[in-house]
Structure 1
Amino acid sequence: MNAQAVSKAASASGTVIPPAASITDSSGAVWTLVGGRVNRNGVGVSTGSPAALATILYYNGAIYAKNSAGTWFKNGSPWQNVGTADPRGVASAAAAVTSGSKFYGINGHLAYGSGIYKTMSAAAQLAILKDLGVTNYRADVADSGMAKTIAAALTGAFKGSGVSILPVLNPLSCGWNTSLSESSAYTLGYNLATGATTQLKGLVSHIECGNELDVPLKISGDGSSAANWSASAWPSLRGVLRGMIDGVRAIDPSIKCGVGTGIPLSYRALQMLWNGVSPNGTTNGVSGSASLRWDFTCYHWYESSGDMLCGWQNSACYDVLQALKDSFGVPIWLTEWGWNAQKDTMDQKTAYVPKALAQYRSLKDKYNIEAIMMYAVIDDNYGLIAGDGVTKRASYDLFKNFVKANPV
């Protein structure tokens, strides 16, 4: 071995921090990300970004950094702002996995480890979905094992079926809680997302990051004011969401990331996350935090909340769909909607299905609604089919007939 220093080999094109701890470029310089700042050989460099950096990418011999607002900067003298498009220019192979509309969808629990969804094969579930005419199946994922189950369905029974699957990452089922620090929550979300996306890469075009994570944070009111949200718990929510988004994109930047909430007037929570606002007990909150960017806005709306065009905010009628459209400018996915299981009679439940389908179908273009996903296909309280997986309710045929008569 000669006495000269041996240069470390350059990192592979496409290496990303995180999950990588460092990147070595073709000149041998080592790049790291420390405290939201880009370092070269241990020395901080100025990228010109007004916000903290969240990602470093080495691609085709160039170093790029992405900030918390989703803007990319390319290494140079000076660094260049190159916009929000991923420098890899990844053509979405996943987008081609399932062509056609995803508008009519439904929820299920394909990857559950027990119960009817465990005992019913993916092929049997698919047969029901095909009969209903839905083309989009939402399924929860709490670890890479559940993601592997979904991947097996997509490479098996669902392959070429025309039915896509929307995985929804659920950190509540793998240890997330509101007492976690932002950094700990970020790590949890990131690990969940990278583990799941590794299994699903190339098989799905969309992933929903989180399921009703806003619910434990509302401390007062209806959710339409920053004062309604817990200041102490907010960093944990922001951290886990940031972690999931970054984790999905680190594995496959072609997959579109969705973020949503479950409380009827929680659009304000989404606005705060998008704009880097944190609750502090005041009506407007305080700005200056990391902002989030997602590709489609998810929202839940059940009959018990009334009409989505007239949500009751401080005793006044409020158009929630308009707020979602104006605030984010990305497609809307109603990833859960359904009847009032606690109060409705069976006749009322049955009548609600075609009524809701007709309303959302009529609003599709006005509000850029890409998907409406009923909860659920099989469930004792909310299902078109009872919990035995066999007994079809009257609402089943009404759903099926509406979809057939109103193609999208």
Structure 2
Amino acid sequence: MLKRRQFIGAMTALGGSVLLSACGGGGAEDGGGTSGAGAQNASATAKSASANGTAMPPATSLVDGKGATWTVSGGVAYRNGAKAGNNYDVILTLCFNGNIYVENTSGQFYQWNGSTWQASSDPRLGTTSPDGTTIPSASSIIDKTGAVWTLTNGVISRNGVAAGNNYNVSLVLWYGGKIYCRNTSGQFYANAEVAAQWLPCTDPRIAVAATAGSFFGINGHFDYTYTPAQLVSILKGLGCTSYRVGCTADANQLNAVVKLAQAFQSSGMTLLVLLNLDFYDNSGKLLAGEPAAYSAAYGPAATIANALKPYGVTLYECGNELTRDNAIIIDSTNAGTKALDFNNANWPIMRGAMRGMIDGVKSAQPTAKCGINFCVADVGASDALWDGMQPDGSGGHPKVRWDITTWHNYEVYGNIFNIGTDGAGPGIDLPTYCKARYGVPFIITEWNTGPEQTQTYRANYITSQLGSMYAARKTHNLQSVMYYVLDSGNNTFGIMTNGTALNPPYGAFTNFTSTHADN
């Protein structure tokens, strides 16, 4: 499990990046700040700002709150005579509260932040709409990117343009950082990230409480030196009611997990078993297509489930971070919100392995619950798999349907209840979206901060994260949250080492579990 944590380092490249079009991008202030431009700035500070709301046109120039003069020529905005960052197709420039905004030919507004452009709404309309705003009764909704959503004659428009193929809409809803709608037949849809697609879902406002009794969990490894009895005792001391451990069908691994299952059966605790299978052959080459991947996964999955079913194991996670395999994700620094973020040619191989694992488990245990694991903000992957879509947008392919949505959420990925839809930008409430889209329980099967953090920082992170996750357990269908990891052999992730507690993280964890009932 530790090897895949290398991905966390790559994800740090996401922080702070914003991708804009038609008036966005980078560019240093004043085109690099030459000595001439500096002199202009010094001179400009004596100027008075334009009146609030002054627009160009009809004005021929504007003065911002810092005294800089703005002009537009050929659809390009200039600040003190120098092109202001990367901008083009400008049709309107506005001074509002001393700040400069531009509108492009697509109707998108951007605000100058002193060095670059950031997506915004028309400042004359106000700020982001409060969560839960609906049309009707509001006349419009402003999302986190500043886009304005309206409803006219049953059709939803975004910035004045019809938002994809939609009609007979009776309600538009802004909830959890996403736009949803309901048609006149009562069906809800969620707005996707690409091409204004509308995906069927349920009303995201409906609170759903997951089954109680397994909320506080932790990860471990099949090759720990702790005996099964010792593990049960340690977990009870931590206040944990669930435990995640991975294995393949290899006899040494599977026998170790069978012994754990025997001990857990009498303890009343929940054991979630990760099927640590992938889509490579013994030589490390990708399997030859979806049928081959399906067959290769089916047999080992059935073997594992057959070995564990006598001991009460009913929860399986089918694969570990497969969407983040180098053969699947095109760019590992991408958040995965779009299906296009993933390799179209290799996608069927991954899909086949996932389907094979689920079907293999179900062949041995028809009533077992199977989860599929995702990372970061991989809704592009989860939606495509659920709906039988390829990354290129083609449909009609086998659908992957799971019983539990499982996700990994490390601090570098962002807050799972407000995770960036482009890895850095405006966030969505991911468990709420998944609850509405897939209608199954949600488990966070790995969470932690980074390995470089101090133990004091880790302890504070544990307390804050458990607080937010615990508060959501009755509304977000959040069944379990599983800390990574019990013992990592050092102080990078583990909460103890060789049976000795690592404090203050251990104390922070036990203090929370002892004061918050798992009910």
Q: Common fold, TM-score beyond 0.5?
A: yes
Counterpart of 1:399? 509
Query: Of 304, 323, 334, which residue of structure 2 is paired with 1:214?
Result: 323
> CA–CA distance in 2 between the matches of 1:121 and 1:234?
40
Q: Does 1:161 align with 2:291?
A: no
Q: Is the 8 A contact 2:420 2:426 kept in 1?
A: yes
Q: Does 1:133 align with 2:239?
A: yes
Counterpart of 2:248? 142
**What are the within-5 Å matches in structure 2 for residues 368-387 of structure 1?**
368-379=477-488, 380=490, 381-386=492-497
2:254 aligned partner, one-letter code: A
> CA–CA distance in 2 between the matches of 1:173 and 1:249?
19
Task: Single out whichever of 313-322 and 324-333 deviates more from structure 2.
Answer: 313-322
Q: CA deviation at 1:149?
A: 2.0
Query: Of 317, 342, 353, which residue of structure 2 is paired with 1:240?
Result: 353
**What are the within-5 Å matches in structure 2 for residues 5-404 of structure 1?**
101-109=213-221, 111-112=222-223, 117=224, 119-145=225-251, 146-155=253-262, 157-172=263-278, 175=281, 178-202=286-310, 203-216=312-325, 217-220=328-331, 221-262=334-375, 264-280=376-392, 285-314=393-422, 315-342=425-452, 344-379=453-488, 380=490, 381-386=492-497, 388-404=498-514
**Aligned-partner SS, 1:365:** coil
> CA–CA distance in 1 between the matches of 2:482 and 2:512?
14
Q: Is the 8 A contact 1:144 1:199 kept in 2?
A: no
How many residues are matched? Answer: 296
**Aligned-partner SS, 2:366:** coil
Counterpart of 1:48? none
Q: Residue by residue, what CA displacement relative to the aligned partner does 1:46-94 show, whole Å, maximum 9, x if unpaired?
A: xxxxxxxxxxxxxxxxxxxxxxxxxxxxxxxxxxxxxxxxxxxxxxxxx
Relative distance call for 1:346 and 1:222 in structure 2 (3 A) is: same
Q: Is the 8 A contact 1:142 1:174 kept in 2?
A: no
Q: CA deviation at 1:356?
A: 0.6
**Aligned-partner SS, 1:253:** coil
> CA–CA distance in 2 between the matches of 1:226 and 1:174?
22
Q: CA deviation at 1:178?
A: 4.5
> CA–CA distance in 1 between the matches of 2:478 and 2:286?
31
Q: CA deviation at 1:326?
A: 1.5
> CA–CA distance in 2 between the matches of 1:361 and 1:238?
32
Q: CA deviation at 1:199?
A: 0.2
> CA–CA distance in 2 between the matches of 1:224 and 1:136?
29
**Aligned-partner SS, 1:309:** coil
> CA–CA distance in 2 between the matches of 1:366 and 1:289?
33
- Which structure 2 segments of 5+ residues have no match? 1-210
1:299 aligned partner, one-letter code: W
Q: CA deviation at 1:120?
A: 1.9
> CA–CA distance in 1 between the matches of 2:475 and 2:288?
39
> CA–CA distance in 1 between the matches of 2:428 and 2:390?
23
Q: CA deviation at 1:261?
A: 1.2
Relative distance call for 1:260 and 1:397 in structure 2 (3 A) is: same
Counterpart of 1:18? none
1:206 aligned partner, one-letter code: L
Q: Residue by residue, what CA displacement relative to the aligned partner does 1:99-156 show, whole Å, maximum 9, x if unpaired?
A: 96111110000x22xxxx0x2211111111010010111000111522332222222x
Q: Is the 8 A contact 1:167 1:206 kept in 2?
A: yes
Q: Residue by residue, what CA displacement relative to the aligned partner does 1:241-280 show, whole Å, maximum 9, x if unpaired?
A: 0000000000111111111112x11122011101000112
Relative distance call for 1:173 and 1:219 in structure 2 (3 A) is: closer
1:340 aligned partner, one-letter code: G
2:385 aligned partner, one-letter code: L
**Seq. identity, %:** 31
1:286 aligned partner, one-letter code: S
**Aligned-partner SS, 1:158:** helix
> CA–CA distance in 1 between the matches of 2:339 and 2:279?
27
- Which structure 1 segments of 5+ residues have no match? 1-98
Normalised by the length of structure 1, the TM-score is 0.69
Structure label with greater radius of gyration:
2
Q: Is the 8 A contact 2:280 2:287 kept in 1?
A: no
> CA–CA distance in 2 between the matches of 1:164 and 1:174?
30
Q: Is the 8 A contact 1:213 1:237 kept in 2?
A: yes
Q: CA RMSD for the aligned pairs?
A: 1.8
**Aligned-partner SS, 2:267:** coil
Normalised by the length of structure 2, the TM-score is 0.55
> CA–CA distance in 1 between the matches of 2:374 and 2:300?
19
